Each structure stands twice: as structure tokens, then as C-alpha cells.
Structure 1
Amino acid sequence: LLGASTPTSTPVGSGAFLNNAPDVRLGFVEQDVTCTVNTRLAALIMERKYGLRVTTSAYPDVDALFKALSAKDPTQRVDLTFCYRDPTDRTVRQRYFSYTDFIGSGYLVDDSGRYVIVSNSNVKAPLERSNACLYQFLNRMNWEDGLTFNGGVLQAQEVPKWYEENLVHIDRWASCD
């Protein structure tokens, strides 16, 4: 993992996102391995399937992540996170409720709860209008089968290889009606 106590950014792809913004900003909690893997896989799918430039930023905890997710300044905010765990993170989200929206109803369940995509509230509607296929993918995202690699739980460094070996699944997930 990135190991920084403050947000760090890593460019992942190329393209454009919403409102002529240069990229999609994804935030994750660096100590949450599942969250990190989910974010890296989603970033790779966004880059390769949707032609977007994705920046990922690591945060030390859920509160710091949601503070960035709720930022009003588009250059300072995180657009999406794949790291909200219900019910574990409910109290944190309640503090930022008016600045955030759910996308879908959850895409993965593990021992810590149900992982749900959360967006900055200024991002969801423009995303739905301007990139309907990506929005549809996010809304239908369901990794309930589990992300396994070589018989074990997928780790962040294994994401690119897993992506290449599971293109059939990814193509199905990313298909657009």
C-alpha cells in the first residue's frame, strides 16, 4: 500500500471525465486491503473500458476519506469511493450525508459489512447524464463471487494480472445497454 499519512495521488490512465474535468478521482482507505483492491480494479476498468484518466488517493481513515469526498472545491475532492462499509461506516457518513450519494446498493459483502459506492453529491447526476455506460456499470457492479487469485484473496499488486485473466467477466460487467 502507499503507506502515506496524507493523501497521495497516482495517475492511472488517460481520458476525460465530467464537466471537462481532467480525470476521475477515487479515494480509498490505505489500511483497508479489500477497499484498496476494489479501488485499483475499478480504476483499471475505468481506464481500459471507458478510456478515463483515473487518479487514486489514499487516506489514513474513513473520516479523512469522507472529508475529501465532501469537499466543495472540485480540485480538492474525491469523486467516488468504493470503500464505504455498511453498517461499520454509517456514523461517519451521517456527518457528511448532505454532500454524498450512494451509487447502487452494494457490490461486495464480507465480514466487515457491505461495500457500497459513494459519490460526491455534485458528481452523481452529471455522471449519469454524461457517461451512462460507466454509471450503469457502477450501479450494477456486483463482485459477490469474490475476487480470488491463485486460490486466495486478491491483493492490490495482483490486480493487473487478475484483470487480464478475467476479461470475460469484466466485459460482462462493463457491457452497456
Structure 2
Amino acid sequence: MADGWNNRHDVGGIIAGQKTIAIAIDATVCPIQSPMSEGWESQKMWYSGKHGIHCLKYEVAVRIIDGQIVWVNGSVPGSMHDSLLCTLGGIEDGLLENEGVLGDSAYQSAARPWAIASFKTPRGGELIPEQRNFNKYVGRHRVIVKQVKEFAILTHPFRTEDYQLHELAFQAIVKLHNYNIVRFPMIAIAAE
């Protein structure tokens, strides 16, 4: 857990229905070089078919009001689905009773009533205006978790198979990001 988890509500949040939302969550993919192991069998666990690269994944939760990273789960091999990453991470164990979390469709399920995501357009149909407005609202607040990937080290392949070193680098980046947010605050998203 990153610094700030226990005080994630101190700076406010947004209200959606009966839930207070203080954080947005998403999986972050960090490219790695193709493992030098022999054969596909030993490499495929690191390969993300969705992204078409060998990678490590982290789950990152960001306080939506100011962009501070308050939760980090991982790293895990790139082949792991975001939904399983969430299940293994246990973020729901630290949530308050009426707390919601903004996430994408990977977090939606009956087992995750705390996850709030955009509506999907039905096949051959359209969303009603209220659903489109809700999707815009969620998107405006979820975009902040996408904006935390400001360090180039996360976008270029990591060139060693010492993945513990990558985790240390990722944690250092989290600290630098949070320090940067304190020094140069993002424009807060007004609660509506």
C-alpha cells in the first residue's frame, strides 16, 4: 500500500448514488524485454495478449481529488487478467462500507458491488442520455488514474529479468509522483 491509503478521504471525494468515491483504480502495464528462457512455455506467463508485449502489471489506485497514488498491488506477470489481479490484491478488504471505486469493465462483477464503471453500449443498441451523461462523469474522474504514468521508465522495456528491481523502481516512482503532486498540485476536479 502506498502512503495516503488511510487518509484517502481527508481531502474529499465525490458522491455517486449511495457511495462515496475517493479513488480510481486501474492496471498499469510495464513492458519488459522478452525473457531469455528457452521456449514459449517459459515465456508465455509474461506475455499480455491484450497488449501484444511481455510485461509486468501493477494495480494502481489514485485519489481522484488530487492525483496522489494511495494503493499499489503487484507486480504480477503480464498474462494475468486485470480482474484476477484485483481479486488477489484485496483492495476491497480496506474499503469502507459505503465506499465506491471508479474502475473499468475489468472490475465490474456481482462480487464487486463497490466497483463503479461506465455503461457498455448494448450490441445493436444505444445508451440512453442518462447513461451517456454518467459515462462522461465517470470518464472525467477516471482519467486521473491514467495521467499518473508520467515517468518514461514505465513505457520502455525493462532490460533485466530481476523483477524485484523493477518493483523497487516502481515504488520509487510512486514516491516521486506523490512528492511531485505535493509540490505542483494538479487542478482538482470539482465534485458535481
TM over 0.5: no
- Normalization by structure 2: what TM-score? 0.35
Task: Name whichever structure is richer in helix by fraction.
Answer: 1
- Rg bigger for which structure? 2
- Normalization by structure 1: what TM-score? 0.36
